[in-house]
Structure 1
């Protein structure tokens, strides 16, 4: 977004009205799809993702006066989207907890899905598994993990895929540094059993 500099965005925030409205339209047009995909992957619902992104844009509008003109405005907006997504995950968790599969049920369903991906079974240990099959197994493992632990899967995706560091995760979770490190450790521990089939496939202990 070449025109969305920190200085020009801060000026639009100060001017308000149609100026900030213009920037938010630019953000949604050029980056909205990324925000929707991220929210939909965590919430497993496009409708819920739309609500999250729209709520986040309202928060950006309301908080734009606090943008100080330093740093990347898109990163600032993205953090608000992620905070709104975490809020949505936390709010829906108590109501849906009984509907979520147990780890045992999720792992059993995952094993059946992996078996289907790998059909027909390898004739010999030396038989090569295709890259496409490896990717399918990885997706199946992560999807099962995300169904059972949506908040942990979302945070782990931010760490692994997006490269967020502990300080950035701490800001999103609003926890102390120690509590943030512990939560990230919990994310990895909860994910490990779901990736057992993947580790076995690629030969990773």
Structure 2
């Protein structure tokens, strides 16, 4: 069969117009027919087979690699490998399982080449004073935000287990433990299926799972953000996001401090320094975003199944505002902000479908 990729629709990442939301899902008979056609070299049939699975495969690649851009590259490479190998897929297992095999192995190769991603809070203690002119740390592979849909069904089902704390903790695990945990606990594969996927034994899979769970448990409290957001409800979450946007755009320090928990943290990758506690966070906010940045414009988005705000900065209120950061908010049970992670850089905006500038 041909070695040329059929370039399946939407293979570069989520949120494209040609993604699965715009493709009709084939029924069982149609899928079986498409599989026969794809094995014979029909690229269009291969694309139809991928359409219902592409988004979940992309989310899996992100969880494995911690970067939407790395996930784009890994998924594209996995789809190319799958296309080249589809003729050898005999259908003894599910196509979904086989594609996860290809995607996971591709991600393990990528993780071995690049290493683990991190956030500033993983690498050192909080700053003891405000750092005004810190240089970006370009030697660290930083975690990035992940765009997720705004509808509750997509947020809690299709994109479950991408909350920021969970993906950050995953990056601290060796690749085999990360893969085993995701495949078993998140995606529901059995130990025997994972063993076949990873070319090992069920006993080794169970051992990797146990080690991964112990390491995650020792990393800190459970990952409760999705449960907290559900308990708060969409209206309360929107209220906090709206209040945060208004405080930033008005430069209102009092309104901002009222939104923060006492032990709030704020980090800004690729800047290595970060702040802990309301006093430290507000000292930074008063010195930098509320003073040194003349004008802010904001757009509410959703990242990692959490509320987030895309921030643009301009020289004045009527000037063009340029993409600055995507800030992911972690909310406490009372609706206040417990953590802010501001991912600095215009490169984070395109995956959210956002422009680089606002007039």
> For this structure pair, what is the TM-score category when the shorter chain's length is used for normalisation?
0.5 to 0.7
Tell me if the contact between 2:180 and 2:194 (Cα under 8 Å) persists in the aligned partners.
Answer: yes
Are 1:178 and 2:203 matched, yes or no?
yes
The aligned counterpart of 1:26 is 48
The aligned counterpart of 2:67 is 45
The aligned counterpart of 1:15 is 40
Counterparts in 2 of 1:175 and 1:87: CA distance versus 1, 3 Å: same
Give 1:154 shift. Answer: 4.1
Tell me if the contact between 1:107 and 1:194 (Cα under 8 Å) persists in the aligned partners.
Answer: no
* Whole-angstrom CA distance in 1 between matches of 2:180 and 2:92: 25
Matches within 5 A, 1:48-59: 48-59=70-81
Are 1:169 and 2:204 matched, yes or no?
no
Counterparts in 2 of 1:198 and 1:65: CA distance versus 1, 3 Å: closer
Bigger CA radius of gyration = 2
Mean Cα displacement is larger for which, 142-151 or 62-71? 142-151
Q: CA deviation digits over 1:65-114, x for unaligned, max 9?
A: 11213343233223212221222223323xx5xx868xx946978xxxxx
Are 1:147 and 2:171 matched, yes or no?
yes
* Whole-angstrom CA distance in 1 between matches of 2:167 and 2:97: 26
Mean Cα displacement is larger for which, 6-15 or 21-30? 6-15
The aligned counterpart of 1:78 is 100
Q: CA RMSD in A?
A: 3.3
Consecutive unaligned residues of structure 1, counting only runs of 5 or more, are: 110-137, 200-205
* Whole-angstrom CA distance in 2 between matches of 1:47 and 1:105: 21
* Whole-angstrom CA distance in 1 between matches of 2:174 and 2:68: 15
Structure scoring higher RCO (CA < 8 A, sep ≥ 6) equals 1
* Whole-angstrom CA distance in 2 between matches of 1:11 and 1:144: 40
* Whole-angstrom CA distance in 1 between matches of 2:182 and 2:114: 19
Tell me if the contact between 1:166 and 1:181 (Cα under 8 Å) persists in the aligned partners.
Answer: yes
Matches within 5 A, 1:85-164: 85-93=107-115, 105=122, 139=163, 141-149=165-173, 151=175, 152-164=177-189
Counterparts in 2 of 1:80 and 1:188: CA distance versus 1, 3 Å: same
Count of aligned positions: 163
